[in-house]
Structure 1
Amino acid sequence: MRLGLALLTPLAILCAACDGTPFAPEQQSFPKPDRPVSGKGSYQVSTETQRDNRGEARTVMDLADIKDGMTVADIGAGNGYYTVRLAERVGVDGRVLAQDIDGDALARLGRRVEREGLENVSILRGDPADPKLPENSFDRIFMVHMYHEIEQPYEFLWRMWPALRKGGEVVVVDIDRPTDQHGIDPLLLSCEFERVGYELVEFKDAPELLGYYAQFKAAASRPEPGEIKPCRSERAATGEARRLRPTKREKV
């Protein structure tokens, strides 16, 4: 058993945080993002076959250095494109936690997990402002083509921060375009992560991913919610496109 994840087996997947009880966050004040947010579920990157033909999942997992025995989370798992491929990569000694806020999507994914016999996969329903991940549990947390849909990114990232193990990192794949068009300026992405207690460690333009790849680690500490100041997109303010190009694995 790995840090309680085995308790969320595919047969008991959909009852976590889905009993109709309203989400009651701690009494803390988080800033709202100074930008629009994309609508959920209205953007489809491409089919799984097309994504595999581009080598998308393989490229992302290689960049993230996913190895046998790791414990990883797939946030906004949807139909499970990354979930099933991560399950194969981490092997029988690893664990994958697939998380989403869409109960119907999780039901479909649960059936897929059962059908494909993925015994190292667990499924959890999160909340819009809280992924509800267990603390000190993950070597990698994946957020692929979904970050721009998070309505309360500062609260979401702040609550996700304790879920990383020592040396754990967050992987983001997204597209460099306005946040109401299913993408996010990489400078704005980096700013929002850093304001909540993360550090950028890798960035790569990746046409094969139809966007870019960014990787963050937890900083030494995270600020109190009231200390977080929202970022403002320079592109939104000036109309100028700016690019973030740190050297691979270079801290910024």
Structure 2
Amino acid sequence: MKSPLRPALWMILVLGLLVPAARPQAATPQAAAPRQTSTPYTGDLSRFESPGRDQRLQIDRVMDLLGIQAGKNVADIGAGSGWFTVRASRRVGPTGAVLAEDINPLAIEAIGKRAIKENLTNVRTVLGRPDDPALPPGSVDAVLLLKVYHEIAHPVTFMKALRPALRQGAKVGIIDRNGNGADHGVDHAVIENEMGEAGFRLAATYDFTKADGQDYFLIFEAKQNGR
């Protein structure tokens, strides 16, 4: 006759039946990697002054669609050489103003000198940051990002920081080209998604700039009450 189980061993067996088997831990979801962006241009600013650029980009039509007219305040984000700053300055006149923003101190210095040389008394320069354009609250009626959105390192954060600077009914224009973010372009669908996350809605889409099948012009407005 076999000897009975010892009490201690019996209790171990019973507890083993009662305690459920450990389940494998679910893998922690990994945060999506931020999309690629292009390195901001820091080279010769004269490249933006190429002859015929006005006609290729149809910049007068762009300003019409953004409501840029006499007395309005305009922000030129990523102003570079000040190419658009000069044209907007002449359009808004002495009763308006242009805020020329860039994260490159050399560009800001160059625009300041250009404004003095060309007697553009309505131009103000603003040194922004990669995540904040640093514009004063309630300061602008229209904004243009001309071939610069793909260079913004933190696009959603940056555009959220832009919102307080917009006056009622302000329009934000973005001219860019299709690309993967790192090739000096970004697909317009990506911009629409990011701008939506930043609190903007797409108001209009155009493809007349340069007419090369790659460039596009998008106009956004700040969402009101989540719409």
Q: Does 1:34 align with 2:34?
A: yes
The separation in 1 between residues aligned to 2:211 and 2:119, in whole angstroms, is: 28
Q: Which residue of 2 aligns with 1:146?
A: 148
Offset at 1:219? 0.6
Distance (Å, rounded) in 2 between the aligned partners of 1:169 and 1:212: 16
Three-state SS of the structure 2 residue aligned to 1:155 is: helix
Q: Distance in 1 between matches of 2:187 and 2:176?
A: 9
How far does the alpha carbon of each residue in 1:59-117 deviate from its partner, in whole angstroms, 9 at most, with x for none? 32122221111001001001000000000001111110001010111111111110000
| 1:30-49 Cα deviation digits (max 9, x unpaired) | x9873111011179875432
Instruction: For 2:42 and 2:216, locate their aligned partners in 1 and report how far apart those are by CA, in whole Å.
Output: 20
d(CA) in 1 for partners of 2:165 and 2:146? 18
Partner deviation per Cα, 1:161-187 (whole Å, 9 max, x = no partner): 111101011110000122111111111
The offset of 1:212, in angstroms, is 0.6
- Tell me the CA shift for residue 125 of structure 1: 0.5
Report the secondary structure of 1:151's partner residue: coil
Distance 1:184 1:42, change over 3 A: farther
User: How many pairs align?
Assistant: 193
1:133-167 CA distance string (max 9 Å, x none): 11112110111100000111111011111111010
CA distance in 1, matches of 2:37, 2:179: 12
Letter in 1 for 2:68: I
Query: Contact 1:72 / 1:138 at 8 angstroms: preserved in 2?
Result: yes
**Is contact 1:68–1:90 with CA below 8 Å preserved after alignment?**
yes
Give the 3-state SS of the residue equivalent to 1:154 in structure 2.
helix
Give the secondary-structure state (helix, strand or coil) at the position aligned to 2:182.
helix
Query: Quick check: 2:179–2:185 contact (8 Å CA) kept in 1?
Result: yes
Describe the shift of the 1:36–1:73 C-alpha distance in structure 2 as closer, same or farther (beyond 3 A): same
Q: Does 1:213 align with 2:217?
A: yes
Q: Find the structure with the greater CA-based Rg.
A: 2
Match of residue 130 from structure 2? 128
Is this contact kept in 1: 2:173–2:218, CA < 8 A?
Answer: yes
Of structures 1 and 2, the one scoring higher in RCO (CA 8 A, sep 6+) is: 1
Amino acid of the structure 1 residue aligned with 2:52: Q
Distance in 1 of aligned mates of 2:207 and 2:71: 28
Runs (5+) with no aligned partner, structure 1: 1-30, 223-250
Which moves more between the two structures, 38-47 or 172-181?
38-47
Distance 1:135 1:182 in 2: 30
Letter in 2 for 1:41: Y
1:170 pairs, out of 144, 169, 172, with: 172
Tell me, what secondary structure is at the counterpart of 1:208? coil
Q: Does 1:92 align with 2:94?
A: yes
Separation in 2, partners of 1:89, 1:195: 32
Q: What is the distance in 2 between the residues matched to 1:32 and 1:124?
A: 32
Q: Tell me the secondary structure at the aligned position of residue 183 of structure 1.
A: coil
What does 1:1-252 align with in structure 2 at a 5 Å threshold? 34-41=34-41, 47-54=49-56, 56-208=58-210, 211-221=215-225
Question: Is the alpha carbon distance of 1:46 and 1:134 closer, same or farther for their aligned partners in structure 2, counting shifts above 3 Å?
Answer: closer
1:172-203 CA distance string (max 9 Å, x none): 00001221111111111000000111010010
Runs of 5+ consecutive residues of structure 2 not aligned to the other structure: 1-30
